[in-house]
Amino acid sequence: MSQELPRGFEYAGVRCGIKRTGKDDFAMIAARHGAVAAGVYTQNLVFAAPVEWDRRYTPSADVRVVAVNSGNANACTGQRGLDDAHSMARLAADTIGARAEQCLVMSTGIIGEFLPMDRIAEGTRLAAARLGSEQQHFLAAAQAIMTTDSFPKYVQRSFTVGEQEIAVAGMAKGAGMIGPRMATMLAVITTDARLTPAAAQDALTAAVELSFNCISVEGHMSTNDTVLLLASGNAGGEPMTGRRLAEFTECLADTCAQLAKMIPNDGEGATHLIEIEVRGTASNEDARRIAKTIAESALVKTAICGADPNWGRIVSAAGYAGPKFDPQQVDLLLNGFRLYERGAPLRFDAAAVSEAIKSQRDTRIELQVGDGTGHCRFWTSDLTHEYIRINADYHT
């Protein structure tokens, strides 16, 4: 993994006392000379104050800073929550001489509690003093946005578009209350590519559709989900269009997919990351609906937890997903073992398949339902006793 960070950005992560655990809980990502910004947000009708603020100001040609707090979601907090989101933006912007509307904000954590604005103010002050462009600063920010995550989630890479070297670095958080469109997850992706606001928004929307909208832990759509793309343009050249923009979008989608997979892999209490690939549908959306239904089936998830090669649960979930297909054309592979073919079960060594599930964290389900061109890859986690314990004990 490349350690080069995109030019034009500074990062910081600090502790300001919002989290009950006493861990770092405030992050800033600054572009002092401005960055193009785009955003994709939860589709839940109940959305948090930071989502409303960021929707208002993206896409944008001139964002200077992103401020993120963890430990408190600032969701379902009414007008005071909106006022607090505005204040948070103003406080962070003031530290680098910017205006409130040049700051985007994100919050994650407990719903229904007001932000402790004295601590937010302290967080902006501390973070501004520690902003830097080195690896340690980036990692500190990635750690500060975590809640129930067991590890910081980040991706760094560089690639060539035409003859131009472009760097991308993304950080994300999320482990529970995860459902597509989108999950309880936040992500900030920085790049030094030069983009127009419209191109950045189109590229991010396309990338999210193939990544963050293809993950689920339990299918619960959250109130705060936000993915931001910031492009400093420090790589130089003209704004990307045409083929160059298409190449950038493909690389961005791959970066987002790497980040997205880390979320169900860190699903609360998870012992398996499950990749579901559906092929042969009439459309990509049909494939996504089938894959999502399988991913959110409690019976499929518990079967994988118990290393049970229960093909019936997978096939039946596909059948009630909604899209039409011929059941007599269905083939199913589990970790490379063919369990079902042309609509009928095959003889297989159940002990060997069970061991293949039990002995590794990654589980792969491949389902062919016809000869159409539709295709989707979708990621989820298994459902364990530990997931129930974590969420039963989590304070709301």
Q: What is the pLDDT of residues 30-64, one digit of tens each?
A: 999 999 999 999 888 889 999 999 999 999 999 99
Residue with tokens 């912007």: 93
Buried residues in 359-390 as b, exposed as e (16+ CB within 10 A): eeeebbbbbbbbebebbbbbbbbbbbeebeeb
- Percent share of the chain, pLDDT over 70: 93
* 6 CB-near residues (< 8 Å, 6+ apart): 167, 168, 169, 190, 191, 192, 232, 234
- Percent share of the chain, pLDDT over 90: 82
Asked if residue 194 lies in contact with residue 228, where contact means CB atoms within 8 angstroms, the answer is no
Q: What are the tens digits of pLDDT across the range 292-348? A: 999 999 999 999 999 999 999 999 999 999 999 999 999 999 999 999 999 999 999
Q: Across the chain, what does the average pLDDT equal?
A: 92
The Cα 214–Cα 193 span in angstroms is 25
Q: What does the CA dihedral 246, 53, 266, 340 come to, rounded to 10 degrees? A: -60
Predicted pLDDT at 351: 97
The angle at the Cα of 262, spanning 291 to 244, to the nearest 5 degrees, equals: 85
Domains in the chain, start-ordered, CATH in brackets?
10-263 (3.60.70.12), 273-393 (3.10.20.340)
Predicted pLDDT at 265: 83
Predicted pLDDT at 159: 92
Point out the residues that are catalytic.
Answer: 184
Residue 20 pLDDT exceeds 90? no
Asked if residue 63 lies in contact with residue 31, where contact means CB atoms within 8 angstroms, the answer is yes
